[in-house]
Amino acid sequence: MTDVNLAPNNAQNLQVVIGLGQSGLSAANYLANRGYQVAVTDQSAAPSLASQLASSIVTRKFGGIDQALLLTASRIIISPGISLEYPAIQAAKAKNIPVVSDIQLFCDANQVPIVAITGSNAKSTVTTLVGQMAKDAGINVGVGGNIGIPALNLLENEDMELAVLELSSFQLETVTDLNAQVATVLNMSPDHLDRHHDMLGYHQAKQRIFQGAKSAVINRNDPMTKPLLAKDLPCLSFGIDAPTGDDFGLIVENGQTFLAKGHKKLLSADELIIKGRHNLLNAQAALALGTLAGLPLESMMTSLRNFSGLEHRCQFIARHQWVDYFNDSKGTNIGSTMAAIEGLGAVYAPKDGKLLLILGGQGKGQNFSELAPLINQYVSHVLLIGEDAKKIAADLTSLAPEISLQSCQTLENAMQAIEPIVQSSLSQVQAVLLSPACASLDQFNSFAERGDCFVQFVQNMTA
């Protein structure tokens, strides 16, 4: 363990930050700039962001989480990637030392309404869309949290009027009384079970988003998104069916699908740049959140018409030899991939088209048999990559016996396997979908790198 002491350390009221990623760096510098005595510990022997720490942070223990340091803390600020079950953290909690996240620090200092967004899938899309809706309505909005900008960085904007936060289950498990103006759990499907152990633990972490909330948005097609404790909250709902009251939903007339609020049709799905049923749900969720945050409906509709979606989230890349290629590398769990298959499958099925699906990576303890019904309905070929390819094949083989499963090991091999498949005279493939349902860290540095590689392969193919 590397032990760097730049000056004598007075442990009185010591704040110890665990983990020196972006959120840990923001927390450490935020506290140091407010006169706290701060120490930082990280499992890496040489954290890449260490050079950006404030000079007043005099104790830096790298190469392992330093239990002795934690036991001297008045408060511990834990980064999302560090499990609360780490032995040194358990030892500190046994001594009743508070363990919080950067999100809790943000809440303690924040003075503006919060739109709080979590869920297994679509968090970033909905967060970005609500942020754009607020900006287009002339509101000075800060957008951050799990989406890439640490929440504490938003406090640097002294004129901020609204904060829109994407929150992961890891961030929420150490937050108490978020007190959001409006909070939502967009959807629930198995994810991070290697961290939370089971769906109960995962669900409990997500539910913390409703603590102190003034209103809520729920997915009426997913009972697990409803607040369990704060049952009397004012709520708006969204769903795939026709809405009632002031809720949001879908109305189908003469084969045309419309976004609707109550009985009022708002706009045709054909007017949206983003495609797929999952994106119609995302659009509704954003409208409901914006409504409860006080945004004007007409302005939100304009923002929605102009929204083109996010990279790596069912992102259309190109058409090559009459086959469309979609990058959904952000599909790192089964629920996200199910939404992508169903959303795009429904587009191509009326044309008698099928999807070719690329699956695999680090499976995070998921049961991939849950994908089988949708694969049977919309997919003709599955190409498997990554360290859990064999497990995925074992989960699917007996439940999807008519589907071609091919082990390719790497994404590059999978891309090479596509051309002979789509050129076959029997092929029904009209779209290739990279939606791995797995984490990427077995072969890539991030889901973004995985998606960028896919995009590059497609571009090389179409050049």
The structure tokens listed for 73 are 């803390």
**What are the residues facing 164 on neighbouring strands?**
115, 143
Q: Are 15 and 37 in contact (CB under 8 A)?
A: yes
Nearest CA to 337 out of 289, 379, 398 is that of 379
Active-site residue among 61, 192, 312, 364?
192
Active-site residue among 123, 261, 381, 391?
123
192 in active site = yes
CB atoms within 10 A of CB 351: 9
CB atoms within 10 A of CB 67: 16
What length is written for the chain? 463
9 in active site = no
How far apart (Å, rounded) are the C-alpha atoms in residues 73 and 61? 14
Q: Are 381 and 421 in contact (CB under 8 A)?
A: yes
The structure tokens listed for 109 are 């200092």
In degrees and rounded to multiples of 5, residue 356 shows phi and psi of: -105, 120
CB atoms within 10 A of CB 463: 6
Active-site residue among 29, 110, 121, 146?
146
Kindly provide the b/e burial profile for residues 80-89, where b requires at least 16 CB atoms within 10 angstroms of the residue's own CB: bebeeebebb
How far apart (Å, rounded) are the C-alpha atoms in residues 343 and 251? 17
User: So which residues are the catalytic ones?
Assistant: 123, 146, 192
